[in-house]
Amino acid sequence: MAAQVRIRPATPADATAIALVVRQAWADRVARDSSGHKESSEQVRGDLERGYAWVALDGEAVVGTVRLVRHPDPLERGVWEVRKLGVLPEYRRQGVAHRLMEALLCQAFELRARELRLAVRHDQPKLLKWYTQFGFTYDPSLRYSTPNPQTPPPFVMSKKLEVQS
């Protein structure tokens, strides 16, 4: 299936499909108290106003997605957050999530982002290892910008993008 899946930047017209994919992708993987189960097209459009998103398409059907959003704190200049990576169950383990992350990283470099951050739910520690393949490391000193008050704090991972001279 993955051979025919293509990745493209998302547009506001994709917001409803993106929200649905997040809810479907997280349905069988993430605890019921996750905010992803309540994902709405309004939330997607809000993230698109402050950043970027990508969709994985099989034909015209959205089968995966990820977002890159500017950190909401103005003191965190150059920091962007990776949000709501999700791939439908039948498209998993075929490299779709990997390709979505590659598109996101490419954009981050073009933006000259200083740092990327992402949150991994407290009950999903196996994802910490998955994100290390992209250069993310767990940083216990960081706090996520929009934590879910209904759950324990997530693990926050970061990736520095500054060119070292």
Element (H, E) at 6: strand 5-9
Angle between helices 15-27 and 41-50 (to 10 degrees): 110
Is the full-model pTM beyond 0.85? yes
What is the pLDDT at residue 123? Answer: 84
Per-residue pLDDT of the chain (165 residues; tens, 9 = 90+): 556 899 999 999 999 999 999 999 888 776 676 666 678 899 999 999 999 999 999 999 999 999 999 998 989 999 999 999 999 999 999 999 999 999 999 999 999 999 999 999 888 888 999 999 999 999 999 888 877 777 888 899 999 997 654
* pLDDT value, residue 2: 56
H or E stretch covering 54: strand 51-58
Taking the CA atoms of 150, 79, 135 and 55 in sequence, report the sign of the dihedral they define.
positive
Per-residue confidence (pLDDT) for residue 165, from 0 to 100? 45
Is-contact 65 86, C-beta < 8 A? yes
pLDDT at 88: 94
Residues 6+ positions from 26 with CB-CB distance below 8 Å: 34, 36, 37, 39, 86
